[in-house]
Every structure is written in C-alpha cells, then in structure tokens.
Amino acid sequence: MDDILAKNPDVMPELLVNAHLVDGEEGVKGCHEFLAIASSPALVDVVAQCLGTENVILWACQIFCKLPGTGKSVPFHQDGLYWPIEPLRACSAWIALDSSDAENGALQVLPGTHRSTVEHVQRVDEDACITYIADPAVVDPMLPQARTIELEPGRISLHDSMLLHGSGRNTSQRRRAGIAATFMPAECHFNRHVLTEGARKGGVKLDYSVRPLFLVKGSNQHPGNTLLRQIGSH
C-alpha cells in the first residue's frame, strides 16, 4: 500500500483507479499484487455464485485509502450509473486491507436500494471525494436504515452495482484502506463506446477505450468483449 501511494503522489488516495494495472493507462501506476488478490480463486468463486454464472470477468480494481485524520467522505451513490455493462449485471467485492469501522470511515450501505435508480445531483464539498451523488432529499430519510460494514483485514463484503453506498470521513488516527474489485458475467457486453448515464448527467467521464478485461473464470460469452486477457486455468 505504501508503495502505490509513493508512486502516485498526485492522485487522491481515496480514488486510486485501476491499481492492478502496472502501466498506468488511466493515470494510476499500480502493481500486480492487487491483480493477484482480485483474481484469487477463492474470491472469484464467491463472486461467481453471487452473479449466478461460471463465466466471470474482472474489469476494475480500485484502491480506497483514507489516511488518518484526513481521509475524505464518499457520499451515497450508485456505481452502475458509470458502468458500460450491457445488460447491467455486476458485483463489487470490497476487500479490507486495514481494520474498517465507523470511526475510520467504513463502508455504509442502504439495503434494498439496488432495485431501482435514484436521482443523482451535483454537490461540491471539500470534505468529499466525489461530486455527483445521490440526491440528499431522497437519501436522508433512508439514513436510519443504513448499515455500517465493519471488517477486519482480509475480510470482504459484496454488493450489487446499483446498491446505494458511501462512507464517512476518517476521523481516527488509523489508516483505512481497501480494494474494490469489480466483476461482470462474461455473458454481458463491456461497451467501450457508450456514454454512461453518469457521464451524460454531469458526473466524471471515464475513458474505457483502453481498459483491459481479465477473464478470471470460465470462458468469454460475448464477442464484443475486447482487450481480454485470461488469468489462470479454467
């Protein structure tokens, strides 16, 4: 973790996108160790059960590192608005590198919200690391139902691409780092050319044109899934 922070001094620690890619095609200089973690058979088998398929592609691996006392919040949002997957079926595995609890900014989720799309709006807050967020007018009444996902190092949580989730600031003197590895069924299409809903409505515009895909289980089932690399034996 210290190595990747040192190699990316100009990147917000909370948003180390694609830390599994050494070449840094999208701005972050990563390392193979994170790819090895995200593609481990034990993890992939659990994800496959969650997705309901034996054909699984790893397409993203992001580090979220909240430094002691300064780690920013992540307002509630739905990831799927930014993802070019057709049809939208995806699962994120949040892997704890450090102990994660309410004090140091653990992941929070709103159960049941994966069933529908929530309106998102632009909100700029210097204590937050994203600006396109779920409308607080919709989210705030649901906050009493929020669940904090407290994890010890090495433990994981899984969530759907449309589940409303976020996290608070790190107000402790302990680091909170984790990996979010994101998977899709190989039956779906990773459409590199679509303008996602999040991008259309003012969120971050992500360039998926050179993003490599990693086949971590089974076989590819969609001819449109390009730049595909196979990991391990299937």
The H or E element that residue 198 is part of is helix 197-200
Question: Domains in the chain, start-ordered, CATH in brackets?
Answer: 2-230 (2.60.120.620)
- Three-point CA angle 82, 190, 37, nearest 5°: 85
The pLDDT assigned to 131 comes to 87
Point out which residues pair with 160 in neighbouring strands: 91
Give the span between the Cα atoms of 233 and 196, in whole angstroms: 33
Which residues have CB under 8 Å from 114's CB, separation 6+?
159, 160, 161, 162, 163, 164
Q: Are 73 and 183 in contact (CB under 8 A)?
A: no
Give the span between the Cα atoms of 216 and 161, in whole angstroms: 19
The pLDDT assigned to 63 comes to 94
Identify the CA nearest to 76 among candidates 140, 157, 161. 140
The pLDDT assigned to 211 comes to 92
Q: Give the Å distances, CA to CA, from 81 to 40, 45, 58, 209, 219.
A: 27, 26, 18, 17, 26
> How confident is the prediction along the chain (234 residues), in pLDDT tens digits per residue?
888 999 999 988 988 999 999 876 677 889 899 999 999 999 999 999 999 999 999 999 999 999 999 999 999 999 999 999 999 999 999 999 999 999 999 999 999 999 999 999 998 888 888 888 999 999 999 999 999 999 999 999 999 999 999 999 999 999 999 999 999 999 999 999 998 887 877 767 778 999 999 999 999 999 999 999 999 655
Give the span between the Cα atoms of 48 and 25, in whole angstroms: 27
Return the biggest CA–CA distance within the chain.
Answer: 49
